[in-house]
Each structure stands twice: as structure tokens, then as C-alpha cells.
Amino acid sequence: MKLFEKEASSYLDVIIEYAQIYGLKVLGALLALVIGLWLIKWAIKAINGIMVRANVAESLRPFLLSLTGTLLKVMLGISILSMVGIVMTSFIAILASAGLAVGMALSGTLQNFAGGVMILLFKPFKVGDYIDAQGYNGVVKEIQIFVTILTTADNKTILIPNGGLSNGAMTNYSTQATRRVDWVFGIGYGDDLNKAKEILTNILNADSRVLQDPAVFIGLAELADSSVNLAVRAWVNAPDYWGVFYDANEKVYNEFNASGINIPFPQMDVHVHNTK
């Protein structure tokens, strides 16, 4: 009985000793955990408010908030374990090595993810814009985290990885309200240049879609091998670009023919000399 009491007393002393050593640390860690979780919750709400005011894409906000919350909680967990007295150096090294290995294995995917984040944050284009990028052109149907989906003019669906899209050259035809339409019309040598310019001017001035400011420009661009080429430039509202372009081509063809102005094609004159 005395031996049992002695062992119990010994265990009790050990418990008291550990309680004295770690009790305050554990209480401090629990307090830090509660305060830390409250601060993380407050920080997530504040970040969400900032993103809403900055008009960050709605599809991106939940992911960024979740990622931020997870990183903050991991940092809080490491800090609390360190407060208790657990050495975290080896754990952090293992975690960093694992992160590096995963990053190398998913380098292409991570590049596309980073590109998607950059596109959604800085918005070089938006859904509904007509763009030309990575050898494809079409209307942006959807911007996802990893890919951007285009719909082409012939109703094909194109998926472009966001990594290359965010790093490569891209033309956005929808950012400006107006666009300039360019033509080059050729007439034959000997045809009436002033008459051709008058016809072109009348055609464009009669089209209500052509803007008057800036004014239509018509100039002699080149004395080519088979034709005298006229450069024609007119400004239109962006949605009217292709309509004006195709309509003007048809009207010029008809008006030139009706007025006796030739639209030449490349040709070569061969002269044969008899040397006998």
C-alpha cells in the first residue's frame, strides 16, 4: 500500500511539474489560437470588402479568400505549436520540400493558374470582347482560372491556356468605341484618278455608319506594276466595322464598273522579237 502511495505521489509530482512548465504555455497558445482565428476571420472579411470595391471578378474572389484563409491558418498553427515548445524547423523544411516538388510537377498548371489570376485581376479583356491571341480570334465566352474560352465566327469553341494568354501578345478589338476601316482600291493606268476619288468619297459619305470626324481619307498610295492603288480610310463605330467594310467593297466594284473605271489584276506583257 505504501509503495502504491509512493508511486502515485511520484506521478502526481510529475504531473504538477509538467503543469508548471507547460501550463502557462498551453493557456497562452489557446488564447493565441482564439485571438488568431478571430483576427483571420476579420482579415478575410476586410479583404473581401476590398476586392468587392476593386471590382475583382466574382469567380476569383472565393478562391482567393479560401487560399488566403488557409495560408493564415497554417501560419497560425505553426506559431502556436512553436509557443508550446514543439520545434517546427524540420516540419517547415519538409513542407517546403514537398511544396517545391509539387510545384515542379505542376509547373504548367500553376503557370496557367497564375495567368488566370492575372487576367481576372487586371482585366485586359472581359466576357463579350473580340480578341486575337495565340493564333486564334473570337468572342470571349468565359474566363476560367486555367483557361479562357473563345467562340469563333464560325461557332467553334477554342480553349486557350491562361499562361500563354497572359504572357503573349494579344489584340483586343473591343476596348475602343471606334475603329478605322482600311481599303486599298486599284484602278488602271490611264483611268480618271479624280473620278475614282469622287466615287469613293460619295460612297462613304452616303453611308450613315461612316463617321464624319475624323473625315474620310483618300490618297494615292502606290504606283504599282499593274495598277494605281488608292488608300482609303474611314472611321466607324466598332460594331459597324465589318458591315461597312464588306458593303463598301461591293459598292465600289459596282460603281467602278458602271463608270468605266477598270479594276486591274496582275498581268505581264510578253514581247517576242524575231531576230532573223
Question: What are the DSSP calls for 36-59, one per residue?
Answer: HHHHHHHHHHHHHHHHHHTT--TT
7-90 and 123-172 share one CATH topology?
no
Position 219 pLDDT exceeds 80: yes
Residue type, 157: T
Residues of 141-172 as b/e, b for ≥16 C-beta within 10 angstroms? eebebbbbbbeeeeeeebebbbbebbeeebee
The neighbouring-strand residues paired with 139 are: 130, 151
For cell 480618271, name the residue: 192
Domain ranges across the chain: 7-90, 123-172, 178-258
Angle at 63 between CA 46 and CA 42, to 5 degrees: 20
Of the candidate CATH numbers 1.10.1740, 1.10.287, 1.10.1760, 3.30.70, the domain formed by 7-90 belongs to: 1.10.287
Of the candidate CATH numbers 3.40.50.300, 3.90.930.12, 3.30.70.100, 3.40.50.10490, the domain formed by 178-258 belongs to: 3.30.70.100
What is the pLDDT, as a whole number, of residue 99? 63
Three-state DSSP state, 167 = helix
State the average pLDDT over residues 194-220.
94
- The residue that leads in pLDDT, 99 or 249, is 249
What's the predicted TM-score (pTM) here? Answer: 0.60
- The residue that leads in pLDDT, 69 or 233, is 233
**pLDDT (tens digit per residue) in 25-83:** 667 777 877 888 888 888 888 888 887 777 766 666 776 777 788 788 878 777 777 77
Element (H, E) at 6: helix 2-53
Of the candidate CATH numbers 1.10.1040.10, 1.10.8.60, 3.40.50.300, 2.30.30.60, the domain formed by 123-172 belongs to: 2.30.30.60
Position 250 pLDDT exceeds 90: yes
State the average pLDDT over residues 211-231.
92
Position 218 pLDDT exceeds 60: yes
- What does the alpha-carbon distance between residue 96 and residue 206 come to, in Å, rounded to a whole number? 69
**pLDDT band per the 50, 70, 90 thresholds, residue 8:** low
